[in-house]
Chain A
Amino acid sequence: MSGAWEVRVDPIECAGHLLCVELLPERLRVDDWGYPMVDGRPVSGELLAHARRAAAACPTLALRLNRRETGKEAERG
């Protein structure tokens, strides 16, 4: 099973270059101040390759591609 992935933006590292929005418009759009917004939907199949490219293209490495985690809520503060 390939499992589901999700993209996340590290809000501190993100400097708003917006390459990710160009490369993965299926999951990202620009907000009113020039920063990318991700929708929470999982990434899988064909889209995964695009997501990888978007993550690799980010100049500040702020776009993260993570395995979708469940059951981790207990560790939140």
Chain B
Amino acid sequence: MSLLTDVRAPAPAVLPRLLGDAGMRAAGRARPVRRGALTTMLDAAGLRGRGGAGFPVAAKVRAVRRATGLRRPVVVANGVESEPLSHKDALLLRSFPHLVLDGLTLLAHEVGATRAYLGVAAGAVEVDDVTAALHRRPRDVEVEVVEVPHRYVASESSALLSWIDGGAAVPYVRPPWEAERGVGGRPTLVHNVETLAQVALLAYYGVHWFRAVGQPDEPGTFLLTVDGAVATRGVYEVAAGTPLADVLERAGVALDADTAVLTGGYLGRWLRGAAVRSASVSRAGMDAAGGALGAGVVHVLPPESCPLAETARVATYLAEQSAGQCGPCRYGLAALAEAMRALAWWPDADAQAANRIRRWGEMVKGRGACRHPDGAGGFLVSAVDAFADHVDGHVGHGACAAAARELRSAR
């Protein structure tokens, strides 16, 4: 199985809240909250964004409210989910569209918006689910479903805003930040759809309930897309702080010293062996282990495949998917992918290749309008670090059996 799979996964929830009874009971039943009170609740709950960046939700809301003078703000739900290994947003939109729309409506009231957008991947089945759900709701907030063409960077928030405004679905340079100038030049609040569903649960059940699971600094649950070499793939909902090893055990993975897991997504980090055991499901817990929570991707590398070959394939995809607007991303990711392919498949991969990847991975950091180069560079560096022994093998003896087999079958 390759990392470039596309599955719409079922939902075995480990600790079902969003995906369980709590979500089912709350969906479509959001009660209006007094203006300002929701921001206070968001603060008290310590809710952070679930799209990957993990920014405090209350701070974003406050920034929009600060920027709102005579211009009415706009609220945007980001359900584009262009990360090929992530399916949690699609699942949420399919199963609990009302929960997402509840969160969107609540936040619209909170900032005084009457217009909202919901970005979804063009042609995705969830477009129908969301549209059907919208027909069954009061029209106090006008929600337009926006289908976004597929491109990896299209789910980046500025790319989504650009598309809504009639431009191309590619990132732009900030500042101005969307809180001040977003859709149509209006103050704009953009949140991932999982974040919005969490807002709906928080408003319905309250701060105490929300904080009852998870950790003091990262309360609540996270949705994870667990896939790859697992017995039970799917979208899992787990409390923040759950050891990654527990999640993998639930998914039927027999952990050993060599188990390799891609965390976060294509812009994430490889973890292997002891690092897998030390990681837990929270931003801090992943970072401490050298992983990445990102958008909640947990992808187990099949033991029979070559990690360098898998990484090289993804690197090639990421380079192709660069919007090509920023030189360091356009040329830097192409160079990084080329170096990774050399390491994976060329018979004469040289000893400097891994160091070149480390150097270029650092060089592309912070050099684009968005974090695409940073993420791609970090992902490649994590590969040469986590699989340093494998790199040595390829450099010393040429491509390993798995990579050589692929090369033969590709001819």
Instruction: List the one stretch of B59-67, B210-218, B378-386 in contact with chain A.
Output: B59-67
> Do B332 and A33 touch (CB < 8 A)?
yes
Are the CB atoms of A35 and B177 closer together than 8 Å? no
In the complex, whether A48 has a CB less than 8 A from a CB of chain B is: no
Give the residue name and chain of the A residue nearest to B356 (CB): A32
Contact of A74 among B59, B172, B332 (CB under 8 A): B59
Known: A32-B363, A77-B55, A77-B178. A11 touches B190 (CB 8 A): no
Q: How far is the CA of A30 from the CA of B304 in the complex (A)?
A: 42
Known: A11-B328, A12-B325, A33-B327. A74 touches B62 (CB 8 A): yes
CB distance from A68 to the nearest CB of B (A): 13
Query: Taking the complex as formed, is B53 at the interface, i.e. its CB lies under 8 A from any CB of chain A?
Result: yes
Please give the number of chain B residues whose Cβ is less than 8 angstroms from any Cβ of chain A in the complex: 31
- Does residue B367 face the partner (Cβ distance < 8 Å to A)? yes
Binary contact track B163-199/A, C-beta < 8 Å → 1, others 0: 0000000001111011110000000001000000000
Q: Are B53 and A77 in contact, with the CB atoms below 8 A?
A: yes
Q: Mark B65-84, 1 if CB is under 8 A from A, else 0.
A: 00100000000000000000
B368 contacts across to A, CB distance below 8 A: 11
* Given contact pairs A37-B363, A75-B179, A77-B178, A11 touches B325 in the complex (Cβ within 8 A): yes
Known: A33-B332, A37-B363, A37-B367. A10 touches B173 (CB 8 A): yes
Known contacts A16-B327, A33-B327; is A75 also within 8 Å of B180 by CB?
yes
Rounded to whole angstroms, the CA-CA distance of A77 and B174 in the bound complex is 10
Q: B369 within 8 Å of A by Cβ?
A: yes
Is there an interface contact between A12 and B369, defined as CB atoms closer than 8 Å? yes
Extra contacts besides A11-B329, A12-B325, A12-B326 (19): CB < 8 Å: A11-B327, A11-B367, A12-B173, A31-B332, A33-B328, A35-B328, A35-B331, A74-B60, A75-B63, A75-B179, A76-B55, A76-B174, A76-B177, A77-B55, A77-B60, A77-B174, A77-B177, A77-B178, A77-B190
A interface vs B, CB < 8 Å? 10-16, 31-35, 37, 72, 74-77
29 chain-A/chain-B pairs, Cβ below 8 angstroms: A10-B173, A11-B173, A11-B369, A13-B173, A14-B326, A31-B332, A31-B363, A31-B367, A32-B332, A32-B360, A33-B327, A33-B328, A33-B332, A33-B335, A34-B331, A37-B363, A72-B177, A74-B59, A74-B60, A74-B63, A75-B179, A76-B55, A76-B174, A77-B60, A77-B158, A77-B177, A77-B178, A77-B179, A77-B190
Chain B residues with a Cβ under 8 A of chain A: 53, 55, 59-60, 62-63, 67, 157-158, 172-175, 177-180, 190, 325-329, 331-332, 335, 360, 363, 367-369
